[in-house]
Amino acid sequence: MRLSALLCLLLALLSCQGPSWKKGSARESGRLQYWAEPGIERSVTEKTTEMILFSDWLAGSLFPGYDIGRVKVVFYKDHQSYARFRPGSVDSLAHFHMRTAIVHLPVDIAEEGWRHEFVHAVLHARFKDYPFWMQEGAALLLQSADRKRPLCGAPLQLPEGLRGFRSRLLQRRLPLPVNRDAELRRKGIYEETALAGYFAYFLWQRRLFIHLVKKAADSEQDSFLILLGGDYKLLKRMEEDFYEWLSSPLALRPSTGC
């Protein structure tokens, strides 16, 4: 009898530790399907309006005529609540869970934070095999895009937080991630992320990045083939051009590109 009571108590405690948003049903609004922790309904409503507008603009700009379906989101009441159920050891502000295709974020997150995750969600909905550098590069580049302007006419700029990695990348000269073998040899998530952002911006300024994002989804080809035709000599030349560009003021200036 005592063992039975103890098991019941243990099960009750475990159920209390689970995410509270899972106890409620999903809601739908426009392109969004979302779950929320109790007590934040008004904040969620205010947030979802802009989220719908941004995701509609992004999907239409990148993949016109393609239905990406709904963007799934879980709202937590604050960062502390979000952090309790955040996977991995990286102290992220939000994340997009690839396996479930769900964005997880605190409801009070800054606009660029949730936009970053929405870029991941929209790209993943179109093509699940985008490599890390394209996913992360696109998110870093497009998180500050002005949805009230055409994508190709909007000047973009990388987040200021990446500037601290610029000198480190110039010193280490990591291989460009278009070559999958080179990408697998690198370690260090922060440097990989910075390299992804700068390389995406390098291609953006050369009117190549958006073309690459679309072409990769349509053809399912590797970016090495799309950009360089699998030519290692061209890869070496592009690597030299990239690091020369990275050392110049162009890497820090706002720029249009498509």
All structural domains of the chain with their residue ranges: 22-126, 151-252
**The pLDDT of residue 88 is above 80:** no
pLDDT at 5: 45
Instruction: Tally Cβ neighbours within 10 Å of residue 77.
Output: 19
The correct answer on CATH 3.30.2010 for the domain covering 22-126 is yes
* pLDDT, tens digit, 9 for 90 and up, residues 157-169: 999 999 999 999 9
pTM: 0.88
How far is residue 31's CA from residue 52's CA, in Å, rounded to a whole number? 6
pLDDT at 258: 76
pLDDT at 208: 95
On average, the pLDDT of the chain sits at 88
How far is residue 25's CA from residue 21's CA, in Å, rounded to a whole number? 8
Q: Which amino acid is at 184?
A: L
Half-sphere exposure of 14 (CA within 13 A, CB side): 6
pLDDT at 187: 62
Supply 240's token pair: 């030299």
The answer to whether residues 91 and 71 touch, using CB atoms and an 8 Å cutoff, is no
pLDDT over 90 percentage in the chain: 74
pLDDT at 18: 58
* pLDDT, tens digit, 9 for 90 and up, residues 26-65: 899 999 999 999 999 999 999 999 999 999 999 999 999 9
Residue in the block written with tokens 């016109």: 64
**The pLDDT of residue 239 is above 70:** yes
* pLDDT, tens digit, 9 for 90 and up, residues 155-206: 999 999 999 999 999 999 999 988 655 444 446 788 999 999 999 999 999 9
User: Which residues on adjacent β-strands are paired with residue 72?
Assistant: 33, 102
* pLDDT, tens digit, 9 for 90 and up, residues 99-129: 999 999 999 999 999 999 999 999 999 999 9
Supply 122's token pair: 């929209």
How far is residue 163's CA from residue 29's CA, in Å, rounded to a whole number? 37
DSSP track, 165-184: HHHHHHHH-PPPTTSHHHHH
Residue with the larger pLDDT of the pair 182 and 222 = 222
pLDDT at 230: 87
**The pLDDT of residue 253 is above 60:** yes
